[in-house]
Amino acid sequence: MFVELQNLSVDFGKRRILNNISTAFTGKSVGLLGPNGAGKSTLIKSLLGFVKPAEGTARIMGFDVRREAMKIRQLVGYMPEHEAYIGDMSAVRLLRYLGELAGLPPGAAMERAHEVLYYVGIGELRYRPVRTYSLGNQQRVKLAQALVHGPKVLILDEPTNSLDPEGREEMRRLVRDIGLISNSHVIMCSHILQDVEFCCNSVVVINRGCVVLNGVIAELKKEDLRTYDIRIEGDRERLIGAMAARGWPCAENEKGEIRVQLPEGEGTRSIFEMARDIGVQLRHFHFKKDSLEDIFMSALQESERGTANARS
């Protein structure tokens, strides 16, 4: 584990934001998810030492956030959601400056600045003032400044913000590769579930200041052996009507496929026979498998039910 939370609680005034969290972040890359106001930003600020816990503590790479905050900051690279740069400096001067602040000698800091900017896709632009960059390139500079000192833990807050589709895909691949092949552990906070699913192998879900789910994404996904997603060639409406008449719940899924749930006693042979009888061709056929969105919504709904039961 690279992050361990022990009975962590954080208050803002009289309001409790994080409530007695005990869990661990394991693996190489973890997606941090939760609805607005769940406590994600507060947890990040607690890990960085910006907010002091009211109770309990947290450890990053074995260092306690209460007593060893400066050691932790040497180990952590942070890409904030909002702008965090000196606009009149060029990207290469900015990263050299930040590298020196992190303890690199001037020559090594400059070499590392060029290396990291090239890695994130900032070419000759690196000699221009950062304030003249597009929002997408400013986002790349934020990633570069988080990487310049070679952190052991990289915390990314909404890394694909402001990026066009091509830039978003490049950023996703960068983040995934960092988690796969570098020595850095990654915590990625994002409201775009597809990005987390692409970049991360584990997920932690927070709701109302509590961790409601923590696990490996591949292990959390479940196959529903009674529900099938089907792509066809032919009369879609006729097939859906025939399924409904048979009492099979069916509808289009988010991919435009037909999702059908077979009742007990019916097998996949029934679907093929129905398709044959009405003259459509089955082009694709597979069990429904939970997406990260399914997992996320299920965790939230379960936690809300638990909260409602506790109040009653």
pTM: 0.81
Domains recognised in the chain with CATH numbers = 3-216 (3.40.50.300), 223-289 (3.30.70.870)
Positions of the chain with pLDDT lower than 50, given as ranges: none
Closest CA to 39 of 63, 14, 62, 19: 19
Q: What is the pLDDT of residue 146?
A: 95
**Residue 225: other Cβ atoms inside 10 A:** 10
131 Cβ contact list (under 8 Å, min separation 6) = 87, 88
Task: Quote the pLDDT of residue 224.
Answer: 63
Write out pLDDT tens, residues 121-155: 998 899 999 999 988 899 999 999 999 999 999 99
The pair of three-digit structure tokens given for residue 135, joined into one six-digit string: 């929002």
Report the C-alpha gap between 297 and 33 in whole angstroms. Answer: 11
Q: How many residues are present in the chain?
A: 312
Question: Which pLDDT value is given to residue 302?
Answer: 85
Q: In the structure encoding, which two tokens stand for residue 10, read together?
A: 């954080």
Q: What is the predicted pLDDT for the residue at 225? A: 65
pLDDT score of 77: 95
Bridge partners, residue 39, by sequence: none
For the segment 32-88, what is each residue's pLDDT rounded down to a tens digit? 999 988 999 999 999 998 999 999 999 999 999 999 988 998 899 999 988 878 889
Residue listed under structure tokens 């960085």: 48
- What's the whole-number average pLDDT of the chain? 90
Q: What pLDDT, on the 0 to 100 scale, is given for residue 223?
A: 63
Residue 164 backbone phi and psi in degrees, to 5: -75, 170
Burial string for 1-39 (b: 16+ CB within 10 Å, else e) reads ebbbbbebbbbeeeebbbbebebebbbbbbbbbbeeebb
Q: What's the rounded Cα separation, in Å, for the pair 59 and 68?
A: 9
